[in-house]
Amino acid sequence: MTSVAGHITNNDFPKEFGWNNCSPVALFDAPTKIKVENPLIADNITQEAQNCDALMIWTDCDREGEYIGWEVVEQAKKRNPRITLESTYRARFSHLERSHILQAARNPIRLDLKAIDAVKTRMEVDLRTGACLTRFLTNLFKGVLGGEKSSMISYGGCQFPTLGFVVDRYKRIKLFVKEPFWLISLTFKKKQKQCPVTWERGHLFDRLITTCIYQNCLRMEDSEMATILSVATKPTSNWAPLPLTTVEMQKDCGRFFKLTAKDTLAAAETLYTRGFISYPRTETDTFPKAMDLKGLVGKQMESAKWGSYAKSLVDDGRFRQPRQGKHSDEAHPPIHPIIFVGDSANLTGVQKTVYEYVVRRFLACCSPDAKGFRTTIRLQWGTEFFRTSGLVVKENGYLEVFIYSKWKSSKNNLPEVEPGERVKVQKAVISSGMTEPPKKLTETELIALMDANGIGTDATIAEHIEKIKARNYVTTLKVSEGRSKRQVIVPTELGYGLVEGFNRVGFNNISLTKPFLRRSLEEELKRICEGQATRQNVLVKSITMYKEAFALMSQQKRLLLDSYRETIAANS
């Protein structure tokens, strides 16, 4: 047995298509070649495979792992003609627990050639578009940028839409104009208990109309009283969470612990390689029905923190089969703990935090929902309608172990009233306020936007965010919100100027800073994996769209420079 460290090879252009040897547009049709990225590992595989009759691949069970497995085969057969795809076996596994590994070893499958084709397609599209647009932008901005920033303006098919999300939020805040609004605030009283209610109209942006409505209510007979229209008490539930995916883990760890997506994934990878949790790169939110979840819960009984709760799930009959989500990558189950890890494991602070979160989230999804009752009171004052509601929590359910979420009974219980009852109006006034701009973008929100728009995968979202930081397109800031602080992502002048310039070019449906083009490619890659599209057809279709975008950008390149200069001037 031997190992690899990511991809062994990479696609590249021949020397005659080097940086200054051709125009950027020529790279759309230039020949490509496979280049060994790590000669030491490649030579090791070739050497070790010389005396073998068969090969077994144990790379990660996703598209990239499938392609790396194919790279291993290509290196192994260089000096051994016995090594072919037919003599190569593939282990299908998702975590490193002993029985699972033995099961994978006894039931090998074959490499997925369709998944390999999908990765080849993605790599070629990224190579051609990235190299072409990076050379174009770098040459265009040469002499305009000062200092170290002038070395390279890099383009990436996922990075630019990610940057586009950041700039879009920043612009919405920058261009936001506050508007005044008015509303009627009402409080009624019953047996010394005061109860504020909310106007069903919300608020109005016309002071005169609000005043007229208010005065009309005051003029009505018996305006000091309001009428209870309905009192409805219904059972309500706070559902236990779905099984854990990579994106949800990154979002939660950012929200609860202020961890970056990169740090979260790095900690989870370490926990996985040490056999503590399952494979942490998955979009699956449904557990296989045959999986022994109770057995996994039972392993957590040793914990001083959550062991008693795990015991209650197994011994007291509180265990519930987790809800089924709608996503599956057909390779890995949701993220879950494999064994209990105590203090002797010598984990770092971040690793401990992520491990505890994974365990608590797993126990939570195997738990009953939190349950309670919500009472809603609706009343009428004059011509206007108001409502309020209150919550009484009866069973905490999963919230007993998932300590990061809160769901509590209302602080002030509602007064006891009946439909048709008349209650005294304690206060009725016109209140005013101002609309507020959106809040600055957090990494958690950015991850959610990328996931919803198909930018990157569960495994690469963190990488794309780190790249736009490293390329000086965005920066992180700490902002105060009362007593707490949070990190937000804002564009730099360079990032803002680039996106504004691209927006002015007017790409329509093939905009390079919008998610549509990348999302289309990801959908086509899925079709390749499903056998509904061919690598060649997808490649031609994608490259053609990028060629159209490049042609338009070349014609209006002055807009890109002017946009950046205007951004600098506006901030000077």
Q: Name residue, tokens 């008015």.
A: 182
Q: Phi/psi of residue 550, each to 5°?
A: -65, -40
- Of the pLDDT bands very low, low, confident and very high (cuts 50, 70, 90), residue 165 is very high
Number of domains in the chain: 4
Last residue of one domain, picked from the residues 365, 387, 405: 365
Residue-level pLDDT at 152: 83
For residue 397, the domain's CATH number is 2.70.20.10
Q: What are the residue numbers of the active site?
A: 279
- pLDDT higher than 70, residue 509: no
Q: Per mean pLDDT, which range of 48-57, 221-230, 287-296, 463-472 is the poorest?
A: 287-296
Give the DSSP H or E segment for 194.
strand 193-199
Q: Are residues 350 and 263 in the same domain?
A: yes
pTM: 0.87
Q: Can you tell me the distance from the alpha carbon of 245 to that of 156, in angstroms, rounded to the nearest whole number?
A: 25
Among 59, 88, 111, the domain boundary falls at 111
For 202, the domain range is 180-239+370-434
49: in domain: yes
Q: Do 447 and 560 share a structural domain?
A: yes
pLDDT of residue 448: 93
Q: Which residues pair with 424 in a beta bridge?
A: 189, 225
58-62, 179-183, 335-339: least confident range:
58-62
Residue 216: is its pLDDT beyond 70? yes
Same domain flag for 475 and 566: yes
458: left (phi over 0), alpha (psi -120 to 50) or beta: alpha
Choosing from 393, 416, 434, the residue where a domain stops is 434
Query: How much is the average pLDDT of 177-190?
Result: 96
Q: Are residues 235 and 253 in the same domain?
A: no
Q: Would residue 476 count as lying in a domain?
A: yes
pLDDT tens-digit readout, 151-161: 789 999 999 99
DSSP assignment of 431-445: EEEE--PPPPPPHHH
- Please check whether residues 384 and 505 belong to one and the same domain: no
Residues 474 and 517 in one domain: yes
| Same-domain check for residues 51 and 126 | no
Of 143, 100, 362, nearest to 242 by C-alpha is: 362
Q: Is residue 146 part of a domain?
A: yes
- At 256 the pLDDT is 94
State the CATH number of the domain containing residue 81: 3.40.50.140
Q: Residue range 429-445: average pLDDT?
A: 95
Which amino acid, 92? Answer: R
Give the mean model confidence (pLDDT) for residues 440-454: 93
91 & 146 share domain: no
The token pair at 173 is 């805040």
Q: Residue 3 domain-assigned? A: no
Mean pLDDT along residues 381-397: 95
Do 551 and 496 lie in one domain? The reply is yes
Residues 61 and 165 in one domain: no
**CA angle (349, 352, 356) in 5-degree steps:** 145
Residue 154 is part of a domain; what is its CATH number? 1.10.460.10
- Indicate whether 567 and 444 sit together in one domain: yes
Beta bridge partners of 33: 12
Q: How far apart, in whole angstroms, are the C-alpha atoms of residue 83 and residue 432?
A: 77
Could you tell me the CATH number of the domain that includes residue 341?
1.10.290.10
pLDDT-derived band at 508 (thresholds 50, 70, 90) equals low
Do 171 and 94 belong to one domain? no
Domain assignment of residue 397, yes or no: yes
What is the C-alpha separation between 558 and 572, in angstroms, rounded? 21
Q: Tokens 């959908």, residue?
A: 523
Judge whether 4 lies within some domain: no
Q: Extract the tokens encoding 293.
A: 């979840």
